[in-house]
Each structure stands twice: as C-alpha cells, then as structure tokens.
Amino acid sequence: MMKPAKPRMVAVANQKGGVGKTTTVINLAACLAEAKCPVLVVDLDPQANATSGFGLKPTPGTSLYRALLGEVFVGDLIQGTSVEGVNIIPSELDLAGAEVDVARMDVYIHCLRNALAPVRDSDAFELVILDCPPSLGILTINALAAADGVLIPMQCEYYAMEGLSVIIRLIEQIRQNGTNPTLELEGVVMTMYDGRTRLSEQVVTEVRGHFSEHVYPTVIPRSVRLSEAPSFGLPVSKYDPSSTGAVAYRRFAREFLKRMRQRHAAPAPVASVAPPAPVPPTPEPAVSPAAAPADGIAEPPPAPPA
C-alpha cells in the first residue's frame, strides 16, 4: 500500500495517569519505524517523559511553547532520536506555561493546529503522534482539535473504565461543537494486562464487547523490561528485542499501521461511540509468587476471531 501524501495526526490521550500512555507512544513509534513508517513524536507533556524515553535531555527553549505562541517555526524544533525513522519535538518544564499563555490567545483552541500546519503539509512523515499530558487542560484540548484520530491506552483495571468514559464524551463534544468535526476514535489499546488476575480478563472482555472493532486485538502485558527501558533512553524493542513487551508492541504496531493505511485509502464516516458502563469489581483470589511464570509475565488472551 502506498504511503499517503500527507501525514495522519494521532493524539494519544487519557486524562488518567499511569495507564501506559507515554510507554505506548515511545514503543509504537519505534516499532512503526522498524516497519519503514517515518514518525514524528510531539511531546506535549511538560514532564517530558517521551523526550527522556528517547534518550534526549529536556532542554529549555526546545519545546513547542514558543511555536504555540507563533514566535518560532515548528520545523526548527524537530530533532532526531536514538531510533532511526523517529523524530521528535521534545518537551521541557517551560511548556507548562503554555496552559496559561495559550489560553489568553483569541484562537487558543487551534494554536497547536496552526503551529503544526507546516508538518501536516509536508511529506516527511507518515504519522505524527501527539503525546498528551495526563489531564484535560489546554494542551490536551489543542491536541484533540488538531488530530485526525485519538488513540486511547487503557489500563486493565476497574478505575480505568471511568477514565475511558470521560475521554469518549470529550471526543464527542469536540466533534459536535464544531471544534474538530472529523475527529475519529483511532482505537483503544489495552495495557498492563496481568493474566494472573480475573479482573484484567473481565475488563478486556467488557471493553471489547462495547467497542468491538475499535479495540486492537493485541493487549500489552505488564513487563519488567517495559518499565526498565525508559531509564536507558530506549524503547523496549531496542532494549530487549525478544522480551514479551517488545513482541506485543510489534504486533500492535502492525495492527495500528494496517488500520491507519486503510483509513487513508478509504476514509470511513465518523460514527459516534457511547461511553461504556463501568465494570463491577470482583474479588480476586490470592496469587502466590510461585504461581507466576518465571519472568513474571502472563500471556494475554487471544483476541476473538474477526
């Protein structure tokens, strides 16, 4: 399938922290680059975890802050990373000031869209990934106003269901009020799956039952290697290519790329998606350490047949 003339812009968003959002951004980008899909990561989180996860040190003046205010050209902010095929617009702590300064501008909700216009008009990348902060502030709203689709990482736990409902409602509001009428739900990726617990399997089943084709077949397991890789400034596919996490993210990247290119080839009508009902918590049996696999990782369940 031919590469599209213009990049698709996908916001990776979930206002609930600790769901594997930035881990997904880093490892999805790296695995897509392995598949010859050039990616630009835009780190919109002032914590700069995506920046450090690619081995870059957060440096004052290198973030999108001034580009959002129209003071610098966005192309001058793009940097290479340790992964061939992945470039990044890094973040740093000063980006937190954008929450205040951007809100004072007349067209504050479209500041990011305007700043990234030269990137969207370029053919240098096939995909632009917007790594949103874990909140529903100005930066996240700007990302949703600029994006073509929203990828939602969701932790396989009870409270994550409530967070999913909130972000789905926000997507609907942004479409319906005209801010971004073509915004799509790119998909939901289940993260931090623990096969030793009944709740993980129950949450996956519930989300798949509600969102059906929007949920990617691959689920991302809990993995020690996934937790270790950022401290070395590497995606897990470079840190430990044969680990369970690396294998899962490669599989997910193939699914993501296939779906993305199909959308480019034949855009589907934008459909509304209702938020899910929360999963009632169920008691968990005690799990002894001896019951876990040797590497501490249980394999996720297979996806239901298409």
CB 208 within 8 A of CB 30: no
Secondary structure of 126-188 as H, E, C letters: CEEEEECCCCCCHHHHHHHHHCCEEEEEEECCHHHHHHHHHHHHHHHHHHHCCCCCCCEEEEE
Q: Which of 46-55, 120-129, 258-267, 284-293 has the lowest mean pLDDT?
A: 284-293
Average pLDDT over residues 238-244: 95
Average pLDDT over residues 217-232: 93
Average pLDDT over residues 189-196: 90
Is the pLDDT higher at 213 or at 26? 26
* Model confidence at 289: pLDDT above 50: no
Q: Return the percentage of the chain with pLDDT > 90, whole number.
A: 62
Which among 58, 64, 140 is positioned nearest to 92, based on CA atoms? Answer: 58
CB 226 within 8 A of CB 153: no
Average pLDDT over residues 188-193: 93
* Model confidence at 301: pLDDT above 70: no
For residue 209, what are the contacts with CB-CB under 8 A and spacing of at least 6? Answer: none
What is the homologous superfamily of the domain 8-263 according to CATH? P-loop containing nucleotide triphosphate hydrolases (3.40.50.300)
Q: Do you know the residue count of the chain? A: 306
Domains of the chain by residue range: 8-263
What pLDDT does residue 96 have?
Answer: 87
Q: What is the pLDDT of residues 118-174, one digit of tens each?
A: 999 998 999 999 999 998 899 999 999 999 999 999 998 877 777 788 889 999 999
Is the pLDDT higher at 163 or at 292? 163
Is the pLDDT higher at 96 or at 113? 113
Which among 64, 115, 102, 82 is positioned nearest to 238, based on CA atoms? Answer: 82
Six-digit token string for 254: 């193939």
